[in-house]
Amino acid sequence: MQAGRLAEAKSQFTRVVQLAPAVSAGHSALGAVLVQQGDNTAAVDELETALRLDGTDASAKLNLGLAAAALVQDLAPLPDSKIAKLSREGIAALHSWREQRGVAYPADAAVALAELELRAGDPAAAMQALADALAAAPTNAILLDSAGVLLAREKRFNEAQERFRAALAALPPGAVTRSSVQVHLGSAMLAGGDPAGAVVELEQAVRERPHDTAARVQLGTAQFSAGEDAAAVASLRMAVQQAPNDAAAIYQLGLTLQSQGHVDEALSLFERVRKQRPDDPELLTNSGLALVELGRAKEAVPLYERATKLEPGDATLCQDLGVAYLQQSDLDHAIAEFRKGLELEPDSAQIAYDLGLALKLKDNLPEAIVAFEKAKTLDPKLADAPYTLGVLYMQQGQFAEAVTSLRQALALQPDNADAWSMLGSVLKQSARPQEAADALRKAIALDPGQPGNHVNLASVLVELGDRDEAVRERKTAAELSRAATSKQKERFALDSGTLLRQRGQFAEAAVQFRAAIAADPKDPAAHVALADTLAQAGATAEAEAERARARALVAK
């Protein structure tokens, strides 16, 4: 064992235990070898046996603490009674070792004790264990790094960074552990709100350990937070290439792609991770979000339902499930989920707003108004709530309330053309023509292509006695309506032509594309579609002429 020939040592100590099962020393020595080999489950069994036979075996106590700490880290995703038992047992063994030996813990034992205390729910005791060890060895890089990790877990990121920097200062250049400390430092900087600084540290860590997948994942996360989207995706793709089955790398790449709008690819990556982590609520939620974004809410519902069973007190999950039901027009279930979410989180303006929308779609306007008013009160900066309230009040003929709500919405979103248009309509019906004209002019300035605003403004101008301008507005409205009709005809003809061309009916498709050109001669897309169809039908010269027309239109 002293020579590092652990396999042979294990074989010999196993033979000792077989020959003398009642002797503590054999079990203690075998347990020590197993700890060094990383077989901590078997090590705990041997060391517990050693201590039952001889409660004064200091080596067995120390190694039992190390093995228990390693196991609770491995079992961290499963916080059950086994972790609690191991934590208590490991802490007791290490405390007993120190009382018996009367000296400071070695660095690895201090780190193990801190981990066990943390798992036992006593972060103050964990920090004290490291502080005591650092008092005896203030420049020990292992202790400094562990103290930094513990501080980061407690969200004390500035203090954590100080410990990590001290650990790096204590390590000689080229030390193998430098890159792992740099990863810890970069992660703390990222969590502490300094993604640009985190990128610098993590890039250095990746340069020193290019095959460290975890470091690349952290680097990609930091790059994304720093706004370096392309670099983030490149780092994460490299991480997945290095470790095709690494769930953390695949998942982070999926999250990054999802946030960039590449929802299809993100969903595919999430599905890969779900095979490894079928009961991860966060993963289920993000998979559900992707499906809803893709218009596949029906598939999202079972994922959200499973997530809510795993996290029954999560209001956001209730909201997400409600949105999925809403997308399917399942209003009763949507309303039930939003109500449940509000019970869990009564101060959520967004859930109150979503509930209002569902009630509005259910034609339950009185309760919808109550929900929207609550959303507006909870978050005075939520512009959607007063805008929707304005619409509802107008529909119910409560014009004074509608004007108040719409003005509140416009104070928050002065560029909302729809709100100006709605306000103009309400003011017109309230016999306030000059204010109505002002509001409609603002709506037209923001969105000049809506014929209805010009028609309404013309009507108000007649009331104000400005008949000439009213005539001009009606003329503009008529022109816009004709243009809109032509565009609709063009779109219908293009869609019909595309379908016919896919079926190989080139002559019929060409007729439709010519109709699209007649509806809007200035749209190059219609000329290109006709050119492609003519080319497939063998009319090469005519196809080239259409392409030339399309190029000329694009050049303009």
Handedness of CA 496, 497, 501, 505 (dihedral sign): positive
Please compute the mean of the pLDDT values over residues 411-417 and round it to a whole number: 94
* Amino acid at residue number 316: T
Residue 210 has pLDDT above 60, yes or no: yes
What is the structure's pLDDT at 449? 85
* Average pLDDT estimate for 159-163: 95
CATH fold match for the domains 383-465 and 483-555: yes
Print the SS3 string covering 150-166.
Answer: HHHHCCCHHHHHHHHHH
Alpha carbon distance 249, 235 (integer Å): 10
Please provide the CATH number assigned to the domain covering 483-555: 1.25.40.10
Looking at per-residue pLDDT, the higher value among 484 and 95 belongs to 95
| Third-level CATH fold of 148-277 | 1.25.40
Q: Domain spanning 383-465 has what CATH number?
A: 1.25.40.10
> Please, what is the Cα angle at 81 between 75 and 87, to 5 degrees?
65
Q: Which CATH number fits domain 1-137: 1.25.40.10, 3.40.50.2300, 1.10.10.10, 3.40.50.410?
A: 1.25.40.10
**How far apart are the C-alpha atoms of 419 and 425, rounded to whole Å?**
10
Report CA-CA distances (Å) from 184 to 195, 365, 548. Answer: 13, 53, 60
Q: Exposed, middle or buried, 121 (CB in 10 Å: 0-12/13-18/19+)? A: exposed
Question: For the segment 422-472, what is each residue's pLDDT rounded down to a tens digit?
Answer: 999 999 999 999 999 999 999 999 988 888 999 999 999 999 999 999 999
Q: What is the CATH number of domain 283-370?
A: 1.25.40.10
Range with the lowest mean pLDDT among 381-390, 410-419, 493-502?
Answer: 493-502
- Return the percentage of the chain with pLDDT > 70, whole number: 99
- What six digits make up the tokens of 281? 């609520």
- pLDDT tens digit sequence for 114-140: 999 988 889 899 999 999 999 989 999
The answer to whether the predicted template modeling score (pTM) of the entire model surpasses 0.95 is: no
Name the CA radius of gyration of the chain, rounded: 35
Give the model confidence (pLDDT) of 250-305 as tens digits: 999 999 999 988 999 999 999 999 998 998 999 999 999 999 999 899 999 999 99
At residue 172, φ and ψ (nearest 5 deg) are -70, 155
Q: What is the pLDDT of residue 487?
A: 79
Residue 480 has pLDDT above 70, yes or no: yes
- Is 306's pLDDT higher than 80? yes
Domain boundaries, the chain: 1-137, 148-277, 283-370, 383-465, 483-555
∠ CA(429), CA(433), CA(438), 5° rounding?
Answer: 115
Report the distance separating Cα 416 and Cα 490, nearest Å. 29
Q: Kindly report, residue by residue over 60-110, the tens digit of the pLDDT.
A: 999 999 999 998 887 555 456 788 888 999 999 999 999 999 988 999 999
Query: Average of pLDDT values for 324-353?
Result: 94
Picking from 2-16, 64-78, 160-174, 357-371, which range would have the lowest pLDDT averaged per residue? 64-78
Give residue 77's pLDDT: 52
The predicted structure's pLDDT at residue 80? 64
Report d(CA 287, CA 293) in Å as an integer: 10
Residue 222: pLDDT band by 50, 70, 90 thresholds?
Answer: very high
Separation between Cα atoms, residue 44 and residue 85, nearest integer Å: 12
Give the mean pLDDT of the chain. 91
Alpha carbons 318 and 45: distance in angstroms, whole number: 45
DSSP character at residue 133: H
Cβ neighbours for 161, distance < 8 A, ≥ 6 positions apart: 148, 185, 188, 189, 192
Q: From CA 433, how far away is CA 427, in angstroms rounded? A: 7
d(CA 200, CA 192): 15
